[in-house]
Amino acid sequence: MTSKPEALPRVLCVDDEPHLLAALERTLFDQYELVTATSAGDALTVLKHEPPFAVVVSDMRMPGVNGADFLAEVRRQYPAVSRILLTGYADTESAIAAVNRGAIFRYLSKPCPREQLIEAIDAGVALHRRHEIERQLLSTTLAGVVKLLSELLAMAAPQAFQRASFLQACVRHALPKLGWSEPWRYEMAAALSQIGCIGIPEGEADPLSENAEHAETAWRLLSPIPRLESIALMLRYQTSVAPEDVGSEVMQGATLLRAALHLQTLAPHKIDAAEVLRRLRMAKPALPGSIVEALADFRGAWSEQRLERVDKLQLGSVLDQDVRTKTGMLVLSSGHELTQAAILALQRLLSTDAIEHTVRVRLRLG
């Protein structure tokens, strides 16, 4: 049986002159799966709705948004995509400036020989593959580390873990609407958001204080870990406004955490979705409208409370009550999202008749 041929790398070419795009198609059709667009706006639409691309090649001079600014936006939304800029002699300084600020991988002068263009695209494809391998490694290996740290937080600071579980649920609810790239980074930030509360007496940590001690502690704990630098910064600024020089990813991640913390303070109150929306809009410092809208209906993402047998608990359910032993010792607090480890711990306690046979939970919908 013959093996399935490897798919050609996907390349998006952008130029406002159709005859130049046709020339690129003739040059590259046998090397790559080629898609074309005649403007930056059309190209962004293609990137949003079509399968991922390895490389984007753009002309510098286009009406409206020029190639350098377009590729800077591609970098912001799709950081793993390699970006190549085609320039005329008069655009060289602008191209060099774009390289220096990290917006593009390479720039090539026109007219560009076929061999040189293919060499640059091949290098871009190789870079994209390295980014994808690194991303997969980060999202799987680091997920195990985060899970361990979360379990430690659950044991050492149950109330802080309850907040972190709530924030995780908020972030998971909002991300599909926000459409941000690499969503696992924001989920990881939410899971670790309260790690700095370990060592702070329960009840003394103010999760929304602008100078929250736990936010600074979380940053100090995580920033030395390779590849967690941006997540550490999200945690540092989760209760305040991040400075612009930290980058858009950190700013939007920290702001989403702050919005989720505001929502968490509203959770105990019996208020409807319209009131939740109104209060989020009144938050100070102000929250972006896109984040407010993404979180406004969060309360509807959970089922009504139900009584569940401990031996029938489902992964991902959220406790709607504190679980205590029959002697009164707190085991897990209300709001704890049940992991496999938590369910096994409860079932072990049940086997020794240390806890009641049923608990109140809520289930995630959808």
> In the predicted model, what is the mean pLDDT of residues 116-124?
92
* Residues 162 and 287 occupy one common structural domain: yes
- pLDDT at 4 > cutoff 70: no
* pLDDT of res. 300: 47
Give 263: exposed, middle or buried? Use CB within 10 Å, 0-12, 13-18, 19+: buried
Among 141-150, 157-166, 309-318, the range with the most confident prediction by mean pLDDT is 309-318
* Residues 242 and 310 occupy one common structural domain: no
Number of domains in the chain: 3
- pLDDT at 210 > cutoff 80: no
The CATH code of the domain that includes 319 is 3.90.105
144 within domain boundaries: no
141 within domain boundaries: no
* Residues 100 and 214 occupy one common structural domain: no
- Radius of gyration in angstroms for the set of CA atoms belonging to the chain, rounded to a whole number: 25
* pLDDT of res. 1: 43
Of 297, 301, 305, 314, residue with least CA distance to 334 = 305
98 within domain boundaries: yes
* pLDDT of res. 43: 94
Higher pLDDT, 3 or 69: 69
**How many other C-beta atoms lie within 10 A of the C-beta of residue 181?**
14
Residue 304 CA, chain-centre distance (Å), reads: 28
- Give strand ranges (E) for the chain: 10-14, 33-37, 55-59, 82-87, 106-109, 306-309, 318-319, 323-324, 330-332, 358-362
Domain endpoint, select from 251, 286, 301: 301
* Residues 29 and 71 occupy one common structural domain: yes
pLDDT digits (tens, 9 = 90+) for 318-341: 788 889 999 988 888 776 778 787
* pLDDT of res. 12: 95
> What average pLDDT is seen over the chain?
83
* Residues 248 and 114 occupy one common structural domain: no
Q: On the CB side of 164, how many CA atoms lie within 13 Å of its CA?
A: 30
The CATH code of the domain that includes 77 is 3.40.50.2300
* pLDDT of res. 7: 83
Domain endpoint, select from 115, 131, 147: 131
* Residues 108 and 180 occupy one common structural domain: no
* Residues 175 and 102 occupy one common structural domain: no
Is the Cβ–Cβ distance between 354 and 325 less than 8 Å? yes
- pLDDT at 150 > cutoff 50: yes
149 within domain boundaries: no
* Residues 297 and 334 occupy one common structural domain: no
* Residues 270 and 334 occupy one common structural domain: no
* Residues 248 and 264 occupy one common structural domain: yes
List Cβ neighbours of 175 (8 Å cut-off, separation of 6 or more). 183, 186, 187, 294
- pLDDT at 297 > cutoff 50: yes
Q: How far apart (Å, rounded) are the C-alpha atoms in residues 218 and 214? A: 6
* Residues 265 and 339 occupy one common structural domain: no
* Residues 99 and 20 occupy one common structural domain: yes
Q: How far apart (Å, rounded) are the C-alpha atoms in residues 20 and 13? A: 10
Domain span including residue 84: 10-131
pLDDT digits (tens, 9 = 90+) for 227-286: 788 999 999 999 888 888 888 899 999 999 999 998 888 766 666 777 878 888 988 888
